């Protein structure tokens, strides 16, 4: 996906918002459809339709001969739905809170999280700096001069986050009180690590075993401090992309070390503090995590809530392997960057992830500036990345991306606690020689039953050139639809 495809030109924003969420005539989710009446909402590749409500359909008896059918099987219930969203990085929070005038940032957060907006339900929170920081300088909550240590965490402080991260997250929670938040560190404080630095250059940034208890207490202090500041964090992961060498914050950690830390240090420390967040292990690219994988065993045994994945390098179907051995554990995809070189469209990512047992999916930066920053130089981790929203701090304006509307095609209609149901699959997922995700051409889809009994089907035509006609078969009736190339459609009915 190119940057030009993702970012909506500022000059066309007014026209787009006429059909966008919250605007007059937009797809407002006020009344659920009546029985057999199918509401249709569509976003096209060029955003000439952006969450646009089209004429409703009605189911007709029987089937349409000779037309491929997406069959809805609502007798079978698969995993439950948590939400979709993105990451409130330091850069994102700073751009939203300090880069926009108060009225405009309030409007943007409402468009992102409120019921009348996209109603995003999943927000990833870096614990300290990632590579995307407003000043480009990495930090944690217990930074000391080189050579000094603080095993009692006497210098622990979340003061950095009080200026713009916590206010932005609190407003997001006010707009969506059910928002699921996941906190993840890119690195513990440097003094806990062998290299006494936040980076993991040359795989040198390993955690010193003697500081594992202190790291567990670091999580306790963070959760308590955030709760005192008005943000109850729903979930944590011990480490972002453990073992990946990086000039930005990172840590060298094996899966066995992470599993041991969770069982021996983190879980007891949380229990002793009367804290019970969800805990996700792995937090790395799609992988074949079999029964002998330490984190799979912890997931199967209930020591951790489940496994978190990033959308890079390997086929999404590899999530099925861990699910086979830990079927009651929760899978989430908590990072997938968008921008230059990205192999996924957001609609494809959402559909593919939920078809392969994910309960939540998050893109990477919620907001970035027009240059794809602010980012720690040199931009070694995410060159060409874009945000769900592009914000110009110079002009105090924002632009919604195509990713925003594709997220909304799902998050506006599928609510927390919905159940994924089986639907016919027309595409396959694989991997290129360059370790990029590849998807066969066709219509991809995923279906849910909401807690109120409504059915939701999201379909995406990944063919860039041709419309595809298909029918949706539900019980003994059907509707027929022609989906434009690159378009995403949501069908909503009782």
Averaged over 451-479, what is the pLDDT?
96
Check pLDDT > 80 for residue 34.
Answer: no
Q: Write down the pLDDT at residue 288.
A: 93
Averaged over 168-177, what is the pLDDT?
98
d(CA 429, CA 438): 6
| Structure confidence by residue, pLDDT tens digits, 298-333 | 999 999 999 999 998 888 999 999 999 999 999 999
Check pLDDT > 80 for residue 340.
Answer: no
Tell me if residue 82 falls in helix, strand or coil: coil
Check pLDDT > 90 for residue 20.
Answer: no
Percent of the chain exceeding pLDDT 90 equals 87
Q: Write down the pLDDT at residue 11.
A: 35
Averaged over 390-401, what is the pLDDT?
97
Residue 109: other Cβ atoms inside 10 A: 23
Averaged over 137-164, what is the pLDDT?
98
What are the angstrom distances between the C-alpha of 454 and each of 82, 415, 423, 489, 493? 17, 10, 15, 16, 6
Spans of all domains in the chain: 32-78+419-493, 83-411
Q: What are 191's two structure tokens?
A: 């003094």
Q: What top-level class would CATH report for the domain 83-411?
A: alpha beta
Check pLDDT > 90 for residue 169.
Answer: yes
Check pLDDT > 60 for residue 17.
Answer: no
The band of 432, judged by pLDDT with boundaries at 50, 70 and 90, is: confident
Q: What are 33's two structure tokens?
A: 């459809």
Name, in order, each residue with C-beta under 8 angstroms of 45's C-beta and a sequence gap of 6 or more. 5, 402, 464, 484, 485, 486, 487
**Helix ranges, 177-211 (H):** none
Q: Write down the pLDDT at residue 222.
A: 98
The band of 494, judged by pLDDT with boundaries at 50, 70 and 90, is: confident
**Cβ–Cβ < 8 Å for 227, 169:** no
Check pLDDT > 60 for residue 13.
Answer: no
Averaged over 63-69, what is the pLDDT?
95
Q: Which residue has the tokens 């159940």?
A: 419
Q: Write down the pLDDT at residue 33.
A: 53
Q: Write down the pLDDT at residue 436.
A: 74
Least confident of 16-20, 197-201, 280-284, 480-484: 16-20
Q: If you average pLDDT over every residue of the chain, what do you get?
A: 92
Q: Architecture of domain 32-78+419-493 in CATH?
A: Sandwich (2.60)
| Structure confidence by residue, pLDDT tens digits, 85-141 | 999 999 999 999 999 999 999 999 999 999 999 999 999 999 999 999 999 999 999
Check pLDDT > 50 for residue 273.
Answer: yes
Check pLDDT > 70 for residue 32.
Answer: no
Closest CA to 367 of 223, 164, 160: 164
Q: Write down the pLDDT at residue 435.
A: 72
Q: Write down the pLDDT at residue 438.
A: 84
Check pLDDT > 50 for residue 219.
Answer: yes
Per-residue burial over 356-395, b if 16 or more Cβ lie within 10 Å, else e, is: bbbbbbbbbbbbbbbebbbbbeebebbeebbbbbbbbeee
Check pLDDT > 50 for residue 10.
Answer: no
Averaged over 361-387, what is the pLDDT?
95
């Amino acid at each position: 996906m190119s940057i030009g495809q993702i970012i909506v030109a500022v000059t066309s924003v007014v026209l787009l918002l006429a059909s966008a969420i919250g605007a007059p005539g937009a797809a407002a989710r006020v009344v659920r459809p009546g029985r057999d009446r199918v509401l249709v909402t569509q976003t096209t590749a060029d955003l000439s339709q952006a969450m646009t409500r089209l004429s409703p359909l009605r189911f007709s008896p029987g089937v349409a001969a000779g037309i491929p059918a997406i069959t809805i099987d609502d007798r079978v219930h698969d995993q439950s739905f948590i939400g979709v969203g993105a990451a409130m990085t330091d850069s994102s929070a700073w751009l939203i809170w300090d880069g926009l005038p108060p009225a405009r940032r309030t409007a943007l957060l409402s468009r992102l999280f409120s019921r009348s907006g996209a109603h995003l339900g999943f927000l990833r929170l870096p614990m300290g700096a990632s590579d995307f920081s407003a000043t480009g300088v990495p930090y944690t909550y217990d930074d000391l001069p080189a050579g000094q240590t603080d095993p009692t965490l006497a210098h622990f402080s979340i003061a950095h986050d009080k200026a713009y991260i916590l206010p932005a997250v609190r407003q997001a929670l006010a707009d969506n009180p059910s928002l699921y938040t996941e906190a993840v560190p890119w690195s513990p404080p440097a003094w806990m690590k062998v290299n006494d630095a936040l980076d993991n250059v040359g795989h040198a940034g390993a955690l010193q075993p003697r500081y594992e208890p202190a790291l567990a207490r670091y999580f306790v202090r963070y959760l308590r401090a955030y709760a005192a500041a008005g943000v109850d964090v729903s979930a944590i992961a011990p480490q972002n992309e453990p073992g990946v060498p990086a000039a930005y914050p990172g840590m060298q950690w094996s899966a066995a070390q992470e599993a041991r830390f969770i069982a021996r240090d983190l879980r007891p420390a949380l229990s002793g503090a009367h804290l019970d967040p969800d805990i996700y292990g792995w937090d790395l690219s799609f992988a074949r995590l079999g029964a002998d994988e330490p984190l799979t065993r912890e997931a199967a045994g209930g020591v951790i809530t489940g496994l978190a994945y990033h959308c890079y390098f390997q086929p999404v179907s590899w999530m099925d392997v861990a699910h086979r051995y830990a079927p009651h554990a929760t899978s989430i995809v908590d990072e997938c960057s968008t921008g230059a070189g990205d192999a996924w469209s957001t609609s494809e990512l959402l559909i593919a992830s939920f078809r392969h047992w994910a309960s939540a999916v998050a893109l990477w930066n919620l907001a970035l500036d027009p240059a794809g920053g602010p980012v720690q130089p040199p931009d070694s981790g995410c060159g060409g990345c874009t945000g769900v929203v592009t914000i110009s701090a110079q002009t105090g304006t924002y632009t919604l991306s195509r990713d925003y509307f594709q997220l909304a095609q799902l998050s506006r209609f599928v609510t927390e606690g919905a159940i994924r149901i089986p639907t016919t699959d027309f595409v396959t997922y694989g991997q290129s020689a360059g370790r990029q995700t590849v998807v066969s051409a066709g219509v991809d889809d995923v279906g849910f039953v909401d807690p109120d009994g409504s059915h939701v089907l999201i379909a995406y035509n990944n063919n860039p050139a041709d419309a595809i006609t298909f029918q949706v078969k539900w019980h003994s009736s059907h509707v027929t639809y022609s989906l434009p190339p690159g378009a995403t459609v949501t069908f909503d009915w009782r």
